[in-house]
Amino acid sequence: MTVSPVTSLTPESQTADDTTFALEGAATRHDWSRSEVTALFDRPFMDLVFEASRVHRLYHDPNKVQLSQLISIKTGGCAEDCGYCSQSSKYKNGTGLDATKLMEVQRVVDAAKQAKEGGASRYCMGAAWTSPKDRDMDSLTAMVEGVKALGMETCMTLGMLSPSQTKKLADAGLDYYNHNVDTSEEFYSEIITTRSYQDRLDTLALVRAEGINVCSGGIVGMGEKQSDRAGMLQTLANLPEHPDSVPINMLVAVPGTPLENVEALDPFDFVRTVAVARIMMPKAEVRLSAGRQAMSEELQALCFLAGASSIFYGEQLLTTPNPENNKDLALFEKLGLQPA
């Protein structure tokens, strides 16, 4: 049997065509080249998952999975044209969704209380906006304060933010802001035309500068190539600081959207994406996000082995279904996983 030489995964010792490495530690790097990321994706599946699992254990308890629960605080009628999204108003036959106004603060806090009683530790409030309006900021900050008072972590995803809106959310104590890059810069314009990749990076920089934890990831299974999945992770890992939380969504193909008939991604390529995210961003929470409803228990277990440390919990994502709580808890029981 030949044994691969053990080298550390650092810019000095790792070259693009050296695919024989094993990680000694897990360097926090921000200078990944595309070919290095592609070399990770191209590793034999068993080697890749093994390495990811090993890196995972350096910084995370492999038997704990964090539970975040979503709520849509303002649904539908969105002016953006994100090709995957049920909430865009741009699709001529519509997606069958009724648009709503911003929810009342107390209703959001009551729903968060229920989520906490069900076991969720973080509450993620999402709005179908390009950006919030300044007139909504008082309600939004009251939601943050109300949910925090329950002893839960808070997350919001409201679209692009202005500097003053970001500051208001930070002052209210918002723990995380979710804003996904979604895919690679090259593939982005095939999916969204109404705002740019740079717009997204600008919002992420504002959030970071205000001291709010950054949650940023993307979607796979949109018809992108492996090099796009590599590009998405390259963008995220090469940010000045790694995101604290990286949601990896499997596309939920929603009827009425331009991506409704896109060919499904091979599940092993999904696991590879989780594994590469884990290796490149060792300390981040890597969240197994949308798409779990269509995943087998075995596939989800492989994702946990490959470094997923968090899930969206609760029977609804924003507008589409998610596995029922008792189904998730039964899976955790079978795998000896503790919810956190």
Catalytic-residue membership of 303: no
289 binds ligand DTB (CB under 6 A): yes
CB 250 within 8 A of CB 219: yes
| Residue type, position 28, single letter | T
Which partner, ligand SAM, ligand DTB, ligand SF4, none, binds residue 251 by CB below 5 to 8 Å per kind?
A: ligand SAM
Q: How far is 101 from 323, CA to CA, in rounded Å? A: 26
C-alpha gyration radius of the chain? 19
Catalytic-residue membership of 287: yes
Q: What character string, x for contact with ligand SAM (CB under 6 A) and - otherwise, covers 169-198? A: ----------xx-x----------------
Which of these is catalytic: 78, 200, 208, 292? 78
Of the candidates 14, 81, 77, 80, which has an alpha carbon nearest to the alpha carbon of residue 51?
Answer: 14
Q: What character string, x for contact with ligand SAM (CB under 6 A) and - otherwise, covers 282-321? A: --------x---------------------------x---
Q: What character string, x for contact with ligand SAM (CB under 6 A) and - otherwise, covers 227-266? A: ----------------------x-xx-x------------
88 binds ligand SAM (CB under 6 A): no
Q: Please, which residues have CB within 8 angstroms of residue 328's CB and are 6 or more apart in sequence?
A: 311, 313
Residue whose CB is less far from ligand SAM, 115 or 254: 254
86 binds ligand DTB (CB under 6 A): yes
For residue 207, what are the CA distances in angstroms to 67, 131, 327? 22, 14, 35
Residue whose CB is less far from ligand DTB, 14 or 203: 203
Catalytic-residue membership of 82: yes
Q: What is the DSSP string of 184-249?
A: -HHHHHHH--SS-HHHHHHHHHHHHHTTPEEE--EEE-SS--HHHHHHHHHHHHTSSS--SEEEEE
Q: What are the tokens at 199? A: 């717009």
Q: How far is 226 from 217, CA to CA, in rounded Å? A: 16
The count of C-alpha atoms lying within 13 angstroms of the C-alpha of 68, restricted to the half-sphere facing its C-beta, is 28
Which of these is catalytic: 124, 195, 272, 303? 124
Which of these is catalytic: 43, 54, 135, 215? 215
Residue whose CB is less far from ligand DTB, 141 or 249: 249
Q: How far is 51 from 29, CA to CA, in rounded Å? A: 16
Which member of 66, 75, 157, 234 binds ligand SAM (CB under 6 A)? 157
Count of Cβ atoms closer than 10 Å to residue 338 Cβ:
10
Residue whose CB is less far from ligand SF4, 129 or 332: 129
217 binds ligand DTB (CB under 6 A): yes
320 binds ligand DTB (CB under 6 A): yes
Q: How far is 177 from 170, CA to CA, in rounded Å? A: 10
Q: Write out the residues near ligand SAM by the rule CB under 6 A.
A: 84-85, 126, 128-129, 157, 159, 179-180, 182, 218-219, 249, 251-252, 254, 290, 318
Residues that bind ligand DTB (CB under 6 A): 70, 86, 124, 126, 157, 178, 180, 217, 247, 249, 252, 289-290, 317-320
Give the residue numbers annotated as catalytic, written as ranges. 78, 82, 85, 124, 155, 215, 287
